[in-house]
Amino acid sequence: MKIAILSRNSKLYSTQRLKAAGEKRGHNVEIIDHMKCVLLIEKKNPMVWYNGKKLDYFDAIIPRIGASVTFYGAAVVRQFEMMKVFTSTESQALIRSRDKLRSLQILSRAGLGLPKTIFMDYSKDTEGVIEAVGGAPVVIKLLEGTQGLGVVLAENKNAAKSVIEAFHGVKARIIVQEFIKEAKRSDIRAFVIDGEVVGAMKRTGKEGEFRSNLHRGGTSEVFKLSRSEKSTAIAAAKKMGLGVAGVDMLLSKRGPLIIEVNSSPGLEGIEGATGVDIAGKIIQYLEKNAGKNRIQKDKINA
């Protein structure tokens, strides 16, 4: 099988692990910088060009699209989809996952647990917003933030009002969420592939830091999910349309609460914490599904 990993940095841990896992299983794997791809759009003949050559020979792609280039990255993935190439992350699911507000609305409609969340159009009723999510402390997030950037914990009402007003002052879109005290600076990431949880870790923020992101100095350890936590993670990935997902949850008195469903979850933390060959399982997912695409492609071309 011929596999393309869409990644802007070939040296990243996740990119290297996926390449090694694919080659270990006997596949030809190339790393393609999606931002250097050129899309040819014409009647019944969509094509992707890269460094002057046609990319018409891949059986499957693994998108590793950064949040800052979601629009163009998703367009490249969509072009491969039009060429009947299987993708581990579909273009619409990628776009959906990057829209925090839309994601929360989808998960809410599915009846999954979420922290109380407020989104408003620069409302001046900051006190009402704070009280609606249970009062201070509250968590305030930029809609476009990633890896813990643009996430603030406001310890009291005055601090919360100041932060909200500051974000509104620069026309930044935000959501305000209740603070789950019993989570104790920790969250759970469940890694879901093809409707199955293949590994889970508990991430804890460093002393004095409520954000648990490993990029911000947090630590991780293997975690055994309860039946409820496992079913929540699987349902979240399914509702978001993601075959590969990192589902982040807070453990609360009322059960697991989803804070994010990541469409390009990193592999270093989860593999290090669990010892599971996550990259290999992603390649197995491609093997299982790319064959179906090839059969459909052959029928169309027959």
Are residues 126 and 82 located together in one domain of the fold?
no
What is the CATH classification number for the domain harbouring 152?
Answer: 3.30.1490.20
Q: What is the spatial distance between Cα 249 and Cα 237, in angstroms, rounded to a whole number?
A: 12
Q: What is the spatial distance between Cα 48 and Cα 41, in angstroms, rounded to a whole number?
A: 9
CB 263 within 8 A of CB 282: no
Q: Is the pLDDT of residue 214 over 80?
A: no
Are residues 155 and 196 located together in one domain of the fold?
no
Mean pLDDT of the 116-138 span = 89
Q: What is the spatial distance between Cα 33 and Cα 50, in angstroms, rounded to a whole number?
A: 8
Residue ranges making up the domain that contains 48: 2-89
Are residues 198 and 258 located together in one domain of the fold?
yes
Are residues 125 and 173 located together in one domain of the fold?
yes
Coil/strand/helix, residue 196: strand
Q: Which long-range contacts (CB under 8 A, 24 or more apart) does 152-161 make?
A: 153/179, 153/210, 157/127, 157/130, 160/126, 160/130, 160/136, 161/126, 161/127, 161/130
Residue 31 is assigned to a structural domain of this protein: yes
Mean pLDDT of the 196-206 span = 92
User: What pLDDT digit, counting tens, does each position of 65-108 carry?
Assistant: 999 999 999 999 999 999 999 999 999 999 999 998 999 999 99
Domain count for the chain, please give it.
3
Residue 142 is assigned to a structural domain of this protein: yes
Q: Is the pLDDT of residue 227 over 70?
A: yes
Average pLDDT over the chain reads 91
Where do runs of H (alpha helix) occur along 42-118? 70-82, 91-98, 100-109
Are residues 193 and 173 located together in one domain of the fold?
no
Q: Which residue has the higher pLDDT, 124 or 138?
A: 138
- Residue 300: predicted pLDDT: 44
